[in-house]
Amino acid sequence: METTQQAEQQRTAAERRRRELLEAADRVVLRDGPKASMNAIAAEAGITKPILYRHFGDKGGLYRALAKRHTDALLSALRAALDAPAERRERVEATLDTYLAAIEARPQVYRFLMHPAEDAPAPESEQGFDVGRHSAPLLRRMGEDLGVVIAERIDLGPGSDVLARVWGHGIVGMMHAAGDWWLGERPCSRAELVRALADLLWGRLAAAADRVDGPGF
């Protein structure tokens, strides 16, 4: 009969193996971007594709695991920028810059998470994988999280909870659309884009008061 200690050891080993496989997947994504395949990831990890499927189910399962890994890190960085000891305008710009710096530093990861491979068909076993269908929940999660942060920090008056969610999703949508365009065309510097987006946001955000029971914004 399996003991509690044995079960814990097996769980720890499984978690460690999963992290190792995600790190192998990250290396392939950094190299291949949206063209990263399950075959390439399995080869990088030194295993067969059926073993990779055993851990993640299919490419959608692996995508969701990678998306959570990178989204967790990005949301942590965004929260740190929002909570830095600085004036509100500086924190707004720092938050925008944190997002843009993240997609600029790892464009292949960004493209894997947000765009399908446009110039190469997926292998037959992966043709049912729709990146757009999987990336929408990622953006929704970011929007909800930012809405919570805004609600905790700014007094928006009546209906503030709903308005905070509107702002959260609106800001994430703006960052995503503007960042996607900027990453593809590079029409200006990152600093110029940050200032322009902060100007767009600054109207009511500048006038709103901090919540007396919150950490402030």
Domain boundaries, the chain: 65-210
For residue range 146-204, list pLDDT tens digits in order. Answer: 999 888 888 888 888 899 999 999 999 999 999 999 999 999 999 999 999 999 988 87
H helices present in 57-127, as ranges: 59-82, 88-105, 107-114
Instruction: Give pLDDT tens digits along the chain (217 positions).
Output: 557 877 787 788 888 888 999 999 999 999 998 888 899 999 999 999 998 888 888 888 888 888 888 888 998 998 899 888 888 899 899 999 999 999 999 999 898 888 755 544 444 445 444 545 556 788 898 899 999 988 888 888 888 889 999 999 999 999 999 999 999 999 999 999 999 999 998 887 776 667 766 565 5
Dist CA 84 CA 111 (whole Å): 29
Q: What is the pTM of this model?
A: 0.79
First to last CA, the chain: 54
> Is the distance from CB of 150 to CB of 71 less than 8 angstroms?
no
- Please enumerate in sequence order all residues whose Cβ is within 8 A of that of 10, keeping only pairs 6 or more positions apart, or say none: none
Name the class of domain 65-210. Answer: mainly alpha
CB neighbours of residue 26 within 10 Å: 20
